[in-house]
Structure 1
Amino acid sequence: MNVRRLIPAAALAGAVALGATALTACSGASAAGGAGDGKLQVMASFYPMQFLAEQIGKDHVKAATLTKPGVEPHDLEITPKQTGQLGESDVVLYLKGLQPAVDKAVAQSGVKHVVDAATLTKLEVHGSSGHDHAHEGEEGHSEGEAAEGHAHGHGEAGEDPHIWLDPVKYAEVAKGVGAALEKADPEHAADYRKNTDELVGKLTALDAEFKDGLKNTASKTFITTHSAFGYLAERYGLDQEGISGVDPESEPSPARMKELQAVAKKDNVSTVFFETLASDKTARTLATDTGLKTDVLDPLEGITDKSQGADYLEVMRSNLKNLQKALGSK
């Protein structure tokens, strides 16, 4: 004889709810993130943003990047898979104005915690020469510089997006990212604050190394593939002369190449710098035409096995050594 037991509806509902709670607990989901490991899921637009997420988030964060190693960030196209990953993130870190495809994807992502690094420090307009001689750590540029910067077409009114190459500005961005992670994951706020302070300390030390290492040089002018080093030049009293503009893929005109030859002769330039992620063709052509040496000045838009260091801090110190050598540091 079969005995059928009737389970009250309330009890059944309670069992279902309990099962759902247990399933959630088993999956490892938490308020810190929707992934199975319970970590805060942070999507970075490219390497400098990923570095901040890793240094500040450490064990509490799982950081990924839309720009894979070896890919030139300016030319990035977002795949449907990446769009999906972006939408599932807890936090998105990006730099508006640098990567148009990322800007569009972020705007459509619906992610609650979105951090635009460009809002965390003051962006400036830089011409082909990154240092305004009337400007020593102060704001302000000439109308000519503004017009030339506008032609590059980056950021608002042609603002230079390469803020991470100035350790002081990068530290300001780090503080903003730390605050954003605290807001997204308040349970670990104390750790994020501690890690942020630690990173800012490292960047402050790096700034001191650059100041000391570049204060006495035979020349103040350096020529580089694209105008990524305006903030760095301005911070340390140097003059950047970019073969192309802010976009590394733009081709220089014959007139620009001739102008650079004259600059090299007048300013006692010894070296033409190229970078790891963009073509070195124009840099080597200019060096050959002017009898100059070539070396690497890395804009740190990505880390590969060709990079002169394993992370941001190591590559920046390599950049410092290469600049000291090229400029005749005393």
Structure 2
Amino acid sequence: MKFRIHHLALLSLSALLIAAGCGNNNASNSSTTTNASGAAEATALPESSKLNIKVSFYPIYEFTKNVAGDLADVEALIPAGIEPHDWEPTAQDMAEISDADMLIYNGAGMEGWVDQVLESVSGTPLITVEASKGLDIMEGTEEEEADHHHEEGEHAHEEGEHAHEEGEHAHEEGEHAHEEGEHAHEEGEHAHEEHSHDHGGLDPHVWLNPTLAIQEVRNIEAALAAAAPEHAEDFKTNAEAYVAKLEQLDQEFKDGLKDTKRKDFITQHAAFGYLAKQYGLTQVPIAGLSPEQEPSAANMSKIVEFAKEHKVKTIFFETLVSSSVADTIAKEIGAKAAVLNPIEGLTEEDRSQNLDYLGIMRQNLEALKSALNE
């Protein structure tokens, strides 16, 4: 597995003086080399250095911490309880990243700020690791919504043409009708144009499939071993122990979901495509990849119709965002709303219960078993 390693730029000297206090860079003695294929590779850090690792958000923190153990200082950039999709780094965050040895992130479009960071920060070599590198990344589950917008655009465009023609020919009704026709025509063009620029995106939620989580752990292990080869065996031992737990989790999902009465479940956020694919289920999302996306009235109607037809009794919502959409549909069909956690960050309740990735995934399994056997 080859990792993208970038020479990141320092912020301007004045910004660093303010934000970083002119601290010494822990990675100042690290370097990069170029292999025979021309790809950049990380050389080892000095043995005296303890890896200073910044990670993007909670699942990547959990995977990295379990591999690194006590051999690295691992810190998540996105605080607990913050929805990560729209988080942006501050100047202080940028300074801390520039001062780190490694930046590990999920990738696949999850962290929209990564390219900005790589372009804005330079200086001593920083090893960057895209944990999802090499995984089979799926397209985002927004096809039905996109089709709906396309149909709306086409319909509005046709209405605009029709109204425009009426305006042209209805001279007895005056210029007002003509202007209305022009206006509707422009609205149709606008709706049609909006669709033509809506290309969707990749689904980054690979960590919700335990088998893909294992691959991310392996990628992180390889990166740490390359950066600190004197600890490679320790990283391997730690990774093997954690992978064994993920393999057990995978088996629990297989056993728990193989004989359920139904195979489809409705979610507020299209985060569970990888999990559904792995265990033979069908995710029916109310909205798309962004948890903040508001579904259209037409799509809400379709979901209600589907739920009634299939006698769905549970509508899943998630932590960190409002449950209002799921609550509305649940009330409409006489169902209940329940949590299916995308594990994009720990809540205060999670922390108070000492829950981690494995614990929350097991809660998700129980929630799915309950809903799919109603």
TM-score, scaled relative to structure 2: 0.70
> Counterpart of 2:76?
65
Residue 78 of structure 1: which of 67, 85, 89 is its match? Answer: 89
Distance 1:224 1:129, change over 3 A: farther
Contact 1:46 1:302 in 2 (8 A): yes
> What is the CA–CA distance in structure 1 between the aligned matches of 2:94 and 2:126, rounded to whole Å?
15
> What is the CA–CA distance in structure 2 between the aligned matches of 1:33 and 1:178, rounded to whole Å?
15
> What is the CA–CA distance in structure 1 between the aligned matches of 2:103 and 2:61, rounded to whole Å?
10
> What is the CA–CA distance in structure 2 between the aligned matches of 1:200 and 1:109, rounded to whole Å?
34
Runs of 4+ in structure 1 over 3 Å off: 29-34, 106-111, 150-153
Residue 230 of structure 1: which of 260, 273, 280 is its match? Answer: 273
Give CA deviations for 1:155-183 in whole Å, capped at 9, x if unaligned: xxx22110000000110111011000001
Q: Look up the equivalent residue of 2:247 and give its one-letter code.
A: T
Q: CA deviation at 1:124?
A: 1.4
Residue 53 of structure 1: which of 60, 64, 85 is its match? Answer: 64
Q: Look up the equivalent residue of 1:160 and give its one-letter code.
A: D
> What is the CA–CA distance in structure 1 between the aligned matches of 2:363 and 2:89, rounded to whole Å?
31
> What is the CA–CA distance in structure 2 between the aligned matches of 1:71 and 1:287, rounded to whole Å?
26
Contact 2:97 2:103 in 1 (8 A): yes
Question: Does 2:305 align with 1:267?
Answer: no
> Counterpart of 1:112?
126
Q: Which runs of 5+ in 1 are unaligned?
A: 1-23, 131-147
Contact 2:269 2:287 in 1 (8 A): yes
Q: Look up the equivalent residue of 2:111 and give its one-letter code.
A: Q
How many pairs are equivalent? 279
* SS of aligned partner of 2:291: coil
* SS of aligned partner of 2:305: helix
Distance 1:122 1:108, change over 3 A: farther
Give CA deviations for 1:223-252 in whole Å, capped at 9, x if unaligned: 111100000001011111111100000100
> What is the CA–CA distance in structure 2 between the aligned matches of 1:41 and 1:228, rounded to whole Å?
30
1:16-27 equivalences in 2 (<5 Å): none
Contact 2:105 2:129 in 1 (8 A): yes
Contact 2:45 2:227 in 1 (8 A): no
Q: Which runs of 5+ in 2 are unaligned?
A: 1-23, 31-43, 145-194
* SS of aligned partner of 1:118: coil
* SS of aligned partner of 1:241: strand
> Counterpart of 1:312?
357
Contact 1:276 1:306 in 2 (8 A): no
Moved more, 262-271 or 275-284: 262-271
Contact 1:129 1:241 in 2 (8 A): no
Moved more, 94-103 or 72-81: 94-103
Contact 2:51 2:101 in 1 (8 A): yes
> What is the CA–CA distance in structure 2 between the aligned matches of 1:277 and 1:231, rounded to whole Å?
20
* SS of aligned partner of 2:103: strand
Contact 1:271 1:326 in 2 (8 A): yes
Residue 289 of structure 1: which of 328, 332, 346 is its match? Answer: 332
Q: CA deviation at 1:99?
A: 2.0
* SS of aligned partner of 2:355: coil
Q: Look up the equivalent residue of 1:317 and give its one-letter code.
A: R
Contact 2:317 2:339 in 1 (8 A): yes
Q: CA deviation at 1:61?
A: 1.1
Q: CA RMSD in A?
A: 2.6
Residue 251 of structure 1: which of 268, 279, 294 is its match? Answer: 294
